[in-house]
Amino acid sequence: MTLAPIVVFDLDGTLAETAPDIMRVLNVILVREQLPTLPLERARELVGAGARALIERGFRVSGKPLDPETLERLFEDFLLIYAEDVASDSFIHDGVLEAMATLAAEGFKLAVCTNKPILHTRLILDHFGITDRFAAVAGRDSFPFHKPDPRHLTLTIEAAGGDPARAVMVGDSRTDIDTARAAGIPSICVPFGYTDVPIESLNPDRVIQHFDELAGAVREVLAIAAAHS
C-alpha cells in the first residue's frame, strides 16, 4: 500500500490564535493567588511550552516563588477552567481553511501534533468544526512522548497513515523546528505565532507570511527533500 504525503500542524499560534483564551485562564489563576493580571501582549513570551510552563512564567513575571506542590495544584485548576471555555476569544488564522482544502485536494493527509492536552485540543478543533479534516490528532498526552521528542511527530504521522518520507511539519516555534529536525522532516513556520525570538533566526526550512503560501512551500520543501534522498 502506498502511503500518502502528509502535512502535520501545530495548533497554538499556528492553526489558531489561542492566546486570548489561554491568557484569560492564566489571569484567573493569578487573581486567585492575589497576583496582578498580565496583558495579552505578554503572550508571545509566555505561551507555547504548555500550561505548567505558562504558570511558572506567569509567577516569575510577578516575582512570587512557586513550589512544586502549588504548581501542580494550579496546573490542575488551569486545565479544568480552560476546558469550560477553550475558544470563545480564539480564531483560526486567515487562509488556514483554504490551505488545508488545497492540500487535501492534492492528495495530502492532514494531522495535528500539539503539546496541548488532547482534551483541550479536540475541544478547540470541534469548536471550529474542523476535527474531521485531520486523519490524526495527537496531543501532549496521546503518546508516552511529546515534542520536542521526534517520536511525537513520527507516531502522529503513523497514526494518520502518512508517509514519513513525504511529511512536512508546520509550526511557529523552536519546539516545532527541533522536533521536525530530529525526525528528519522539513519544517515550515509562520512568524505570527508564539516564539520568544524571530522565527527566521531558528532556521526552519521555510517561513511563510500567510497561509496562502503554504501549499507552494510544501511542494518546494518536499521536492528539495526528495532530491537529497
12-29 pLDDT, tens digit each: 999 999 999 999 999 999
SS3 track for 98-160: HHHHHHHHCCCEEEEECCCCHHHHHHHHHHHCCHHHCCEEECCCCCCCCCCCHHHHHHHHHHH
- What would the CATH number be for the domain defined by 19-84? 1.10.150.240
Phi/psi of residue 163, each to 5°? -90, 110
Could you tell me whether strands 4-9 and 162-171 are parallel, antiparallel, or unpaired per DSSP bridges? parallel
pLDDT digits (tens, 9 = 90+) for 117-158: 999 999 999 999 999 999 999 999 999 999 999 999 999 999
- For the domain spanning 4-17+91-227, the CATH number is 3.40.50.1000
Instruction: Name the H helices within the chain.
Output: 19-32, 43-46, 51-62, 68-84, 96-105, 118-128, 150-160, 174-183, 214-227
- Residue ranges, comma separated, of all CATH 3.40.50.1000 domains in the chain are 4-17+91-227
Mean pLDDT over the full length of the chain: 95
- Tell me the catalytic residues: 10
CATH 1.10.150.240 in the chain, residue ranges:
19-84
* 31: helix, strand or coil: helix
